[in-house]
Structure 1
Amino acid sequence: MACPMACPMASPIACPTALTLALLILCAEAEGFASCHAPTLQTKVFKYRIWDMNQKSLYLRNDQLVAGHLQGANAALEEKVFWVPNRSFEHARLPVIMGIQNGTRCLASPAAPQPTLRLEAANITELPRAGEASAPFTFFRSYKDGLWRFESAANPGWFLCTSARAHEPLGLSRHPDATHVLDFYFQLC
């Protein structure tokens, strides 16, 4: 027997408490007196292509995510970015958790005076359930003139960046300058 999760009536006020209690008891009996659990929140994983405003794509080299110009056969090296919304943070700031390799390795930036960016083995669909503890994996998206920026939730004011030079690791920077590119294109695959 399936566990009834919601009152079939339109209004919760119209749903009698006795009826709800009876349904819960029936559910417990049907499940061998096990408690009736609501389904867990499902998190849809999105797959995107991300590249910086200088047309450098992301790829993995020596276990680091780097940005470079990939052409010809090397274009197959490009890593797609998998992301999920993180509902533990203010929705208006567009919080996301990003990873590569089907979301099994996530971008992380633990709080620090001089923050760094690294890849950590993690399940992208489980991280949003960690609440505030998911801050090192969370980035706030902002959009302007067709370009996106990704601000670290654990390190406010620090943004995902590429180097102005090709084939350098992704990192974090406070401001765009001659050596750091903070603006990205972000396109659904």
Structure 2
Amino acid sequence: MSVLEENPGMKMDCEDWERDKPQCSSKGPRVKARGPEKFTIHDGDHKVLVLDSESLRAVPDKTYILPETFFVLASRVKSACENKGSPILLAVSKGELCLCCDRKKGQSQPSLQLKKRKLSNLAAQKKWKCLPFIFYRNKVGSWNTLESAAHPGWFVCTSANPGEPVEMTKSRGGRKYTEFSFRHICKTEMSPSEVSE
């Protein structure tokens, strides 16, 4: 699989969103909003994220395994703290399933869920409706962390054991990987969920 390494100069933030949103002007043409960027996500243990039975799992990065395509869109929600990173929305399955960090009834801690929401519709929602879907993408050297906007201090993580579900953690390091690389993918590549039967 051919992938392009992440553009280190690329920054997705509110300013990009504001600049790229449709402009309403009677004097000039309308500018179309830029769509989401497509990436594969790899953890610090050389595993890739894949979609398996509507849950995300981290599996060893082998040439015969096709990583899931993640659709990443900058959120209009401004970060309260500059050090939190750029607020983004993440989706899989052609932007039809969005990652969400929320508490299920009866649970004391938040969990990572995939909810059936269109990324394009979610981006237009008010802050309080889309907050569980927002993650702060923060650069840590050449890696990125993904912190929940709705549950500060909780990070997306993978386990040291391959095949386990991707989840949320409050403790960083140890047997949990909270640092990821985003690899921009070519438009011709497709993830398993994009292949039509």
TM over 0.5: yes
Post-superposition CA distance 1:131-163 (Å, at most 9, x none): 211011110010011000000011111001001
Q: Does 1:115 align with 2:110?
A: yes
Count of aligned residue pairs for this structure pair: 154
For residue 88 of structure 2, the aligned residue among 88, 93, 96 is: 96
Rg bigger for which structure? 1
The amino acid across from 1:130 in the alignment is Q
Q: Determine the C-alpha separation between the residues in 1 that align with 2:173 and 2:44.
A: 13
CA deviation after TM superposition for structure 1 residue 174, in Å: 1.2
Percent of aligned pairs with the same residue?
Answer: 26
- Where does the alignment leave 5 or more consecutive residues of structure 1 unmatched? 10-38
Q: Find 1:49's aligned residue among 37, 40, 57.
A: 40
Work out which of the residue numbers 164, 174, 192 in structure 2 matches 1:178: 174
Tell me which protein shows more helix as a share of its residues.
Answer: 1
Per the TM alignment, residue 111 of structure 1 is displaced from its structure 2 partner at its CA by 5.0
CA separation in 1, counterparts of 2:31 and 2:92? 24
Q: Which runs of 4+ in 1 moved over 6 A?
A: none
Give the TM-score, by structure 1 length.
0.74
Letter of the aligned partner of 1:98 in structure 2?
A: L
How much does 1:50 deviate? 0.7
Long gaps (5+) in structure 2: 1-23, 186-197
Counterpart check, 1:168 vs 2:164: yes
The 1:71/1:6 distance shift into structure 2, 3 A limit, reads closer
- Give the partner amino acid of 1:150: L
> Aligned letter for 1:122?
R
